[in-house]
Each structure stands twice: as structure tokens, then as C-alpha cells.
Amino acid sequence: MRVILFTGKGGVGKTTVASATALRIAAAGKKTLLMSTDPAHSVADAFGIELSPDPTEVADNLWAEQIDPQTRLEENWREIQEHAIAVLNWAGLAEVEAEELSVIPGLDELFSLADVKRHHDEGPYDVLVVDCAPTGETLRLLSLPDIIQWYMERIFPVERRVMGALRPVAKRVTNLPLPDDNVYAAVRRFYDRLEGVRRVLTDESSTSVRLVVNPEKMVIAEAQRTFTYLNLFGYRVDAIVANRLLPDEVSDPYFDRWKELQAKHLGTIEESFSPVPILTARLRDQELVGADLLGSLGDEVYADLDPAEVLHTENPMDIVKDGTSYVLSLKLPLTEREDLDLSTKNDELFVRVGPYRRTIMLPKVLAMRDLAGARLADGRLEITFEERR
């Protein structure tokens, strides 16, 4: 299954472009599902119809779904939540407060990852188009598979053994509710549902991210940071959509300055993200609601391109042998040396760019070597590993 994720700063037209893309793909004869991880669920507004948690046909070959966070919570989190409520009650919180605090913000987005995996493995669709939340939430969401995998492999087994040993003693000295096997089993089931999500989302042959931007300074700056962080976590960006460009037919002198600024910012977009394809869409004189208007936007954005294809194929991470050394090359465009920090521990490589850190599990051939040096060159971080002496 082809998977295309759309993200961008809030208000740039991300949902509209994602919907237009899904509609154009469906019009070409591919069975397409459009789903949203954005709590705002604007997809229903884009088509002007009501959507349910189950896929609803909105056009020929196109279905859309609006995930119900409460339903997903009941399916995935109830046993864990009940334990959290018991602990919060023990700490003195009232029942209602405890129930509210037992739901971690962003859980609805996390559960949507399980839906992406389920549709990928079981769905009868050719293409899955995902309307993601604005960039900050999306980056947190896409980093979660790494974090959860690390927790389940490193901490979860130890924590479970420790709790098993402490429970008999703890029961004699405190009435604090301790997690039992049912809670751990619920955590395990939840992880099993997410297992393989990262493999699906970083599969360079089938999955890519498209960034939607407006020709505005702050929007471009956030897109640049997002572009770097997506590459940090191994997600391929195969296109940038520059949306809401003032069309040539706007000739009122009032907009002359705006046109100059937009031309300048469009140049910045092209310079910043090259060689990733830059697709464009003009500012329309009406809201793009409904299949007809969305279809016209899809035609404008993609022209002769097939939106279901992978539009750019540069690999974000690679490992090559250089004599007796190995070089891990990680694509980190728009990164400054002062924003970068590296460290290793056992078979883990920690790469920090600004506020985001990725833990890369090193293959044995690298884990058995020493980190000998690193350099930034042409938008890539090259880390050299040499034999231990």
C-alpha cells in the first residue's frame, strides 16, 4: 500500500491539499482512503459532509474516516487507565479529576498510528492519505514509535521484574496500588498493535511525507525545522507544496508589495528544499469545499505528475564501508553545527538536533566500533566508526 502523510504549520491549507491529493488519486482509479490524525478533523469540513469512525465513501474510489478518540481509548487504554485512576485516587484526587488526568494528551493521535498500520496490513485500499496534525504535534507523533520501542525493549522487562519482586514487600508497608499482570498485559497488547508502525512509515519504497507551506517567513522557518527533524527520524519528504500564491491576474497595486514578498519567499523555499520537488497552488477567490473545487486544486498542484508516485527518492540514512572504517550518513538539511550533539552508549547512538533527539540502534558492525569523528557536508551528517584498539 502507498502511504502519503501531509503536515504543515496550522492554517497553511494542509487538509485541503491532502483532500485534493486523495481525490485526484482516486479519480485515476486507485482505491484510496483519506484519514486524519489531526484532532480538529477538518477533512469532514473539506468535503462538506459528516464522517464516522468507519470509512465512508465520499467520491468514486475514495473513502474517508474520522477516528473517534473515545472509542480508541476504550479499546486500547482502559485497563491502563483504571490503574492510573486508582493511583491518583490514592493520592487524594477526586474521581472525575483522576479520570481526566489519566488520559495522556495526544493519545488519540497515538492510537491513529495503530490505524495506519491496520489499514496498511489489512485494508482493501491501494493508497492511504493521512492528514496529520500541525507540525509540532506530528513530529512528536512520528517520534513515538522509536520511544515506545526503546521503552519496551530496555525498560519494560526490567520494570516488570522489579515490580514482581517488590509487590509482596510493598503490600506490607503501603496501600499504594501497584500494577499487576493485567496492566502489563494491556501495555504489551498496545505495543503489539503499534509494532511495525515505524517500519511502515519509513519504508522508502511506499511511504513519504509532503510538507505544505505558505510563502511567509515564519511558515518557511518552521517547515525548514520540520524538514530537518523528519530526516533525523528517517522519514522521507518527497515534495513541498507552496500553497496560496497570489495569481498573476491580481493586478491591484495594493498587492504589489505582497507579490514581491511572495516571490522572494518562494525563492527561499526553492533554495532551502532543493532538490525536493516544489509544487505550487494559487490563492483562490473562494473556500475550497466539495469534490469539484478540491479536484481543481489537485489538478493544479500535480499537473502532469502522478500524486500516488514517490516524487523524490533520496535516502535519509545510509551506511557505507570506507577502508577499515564505516560511515553512517544521515541527511540533516538546514542544520547548523552548534545545533548538533552526538553521543554513544553501548549499541545506541544519540543524535540531538535542537530540541529533538533520536536514538539510533546501531547494527553490530557499528556497535563494536568507536565513534571516531563526525562532519557536516552538503546537508548530511557523516559519522565515522573505527575499529577499537
Lowest mean pLDDT among 30-44, 135-149, 353-367: 135-149
Q: Which amino acid is at 230?
A: L
Positive or negative, the CA dihedral 155, 156, 157, 162 is: positive
Q: What is the pLDDT of residue 37?
A: 77
Instruction: With a cut of 50, say whether residue 101 has pLDDT above it.
Output: no
Mean pLDDT, residues 335-351: 89
Q: Are residues 248 and 368 in the same domain?
A: no
Q: What are the φ and ψ backbone dihedral angles of 28, each rounded to 5 degrees?
A: -85, 0
If one compares 146 and 239, the residue with the highest pLDDT of the two is 239
| Number of independent structural domains in the chain | 2
Question: Torsions phi, psi of 239, nearest 5?
Answer: -170, 150
Q: Across residues 28-42, what is the average pLDDT? A: 86
All three cell numbers of 209, joined, read 511525507
Check residues 73 and 372 and name the one with the higher pLDDT: 372
Domain boundary among 313, 333, 354: 313
In tens, the pLDDT along 59-97 reads 999 999 987 666 666 666 666 566 556 655 655 656 655
Pairing of strands 369-377, 2-7: unpaired
Both 266 and 324 in one domain: the answer is no
Q: Once rounded to an integer, what is the mean pLDDT over residues 282-310? A: 94
Measure the CA–CA gap between 42 and 40, rounded to whole angstroms: 6
pLDDT in tens, 106-131: 556 666 777 888 888 887 899 999 99
Quick one: 307 and 330 in the same domain? Answer: no
**Tell me, what's the pLDDT at 200?**
86
170 falls in which pLDDT band (50, 70, 90)?
very low
Find out whether 266 and 245 touch, Cβ atoms under 8 Å. yes
Domain boundary among 295, 313, 331: 313
HSE value, Cβ hemisphere, 13 Å, CA-based, for 364: 0
Answer yes or no: do 171 and 220 share one domain.
yes
The pLDDT score that the predictor gives to residue 54 is: 84
Provide the domain limits for residue 325.
317-387
Which CATH number goes with the domain that contains 85? 3.40.50.300
Same domain, 326 and 294: no
**Do 276 and 370 belong to one domain?**
no
Residue type, 140: R
Q: Do 47 and 64 belong to one domain?
A: yes
| pLDDT bucket at 293, cuts 50 / 70 / 90 | very high
Instruction: Assess whether 103 and 228 both reside in one domain.
Output: yes
Same domain for 276 and 339, yes or no, is no
The verdict on 230 and 270 lying in the same domain is yes
Per-residue pLDDT at 166: 47
* Cα angle for residues 236, 238, 240 (degrees, 5° grid): 120
Same domain assignment for residues 343 and 306: no
Q: Do 164 and 218 lie in a common domain? A: yes
Single residue among 285, 313, 341 that ends a domain in this structure: 313
* 229-279 pLDDT, tens digit each: 888 788 899 999 999 999 988 888 888 999 999 999 999 999 888 889 999
- The CATH number of residue 348's host domain is 2.60.40.790
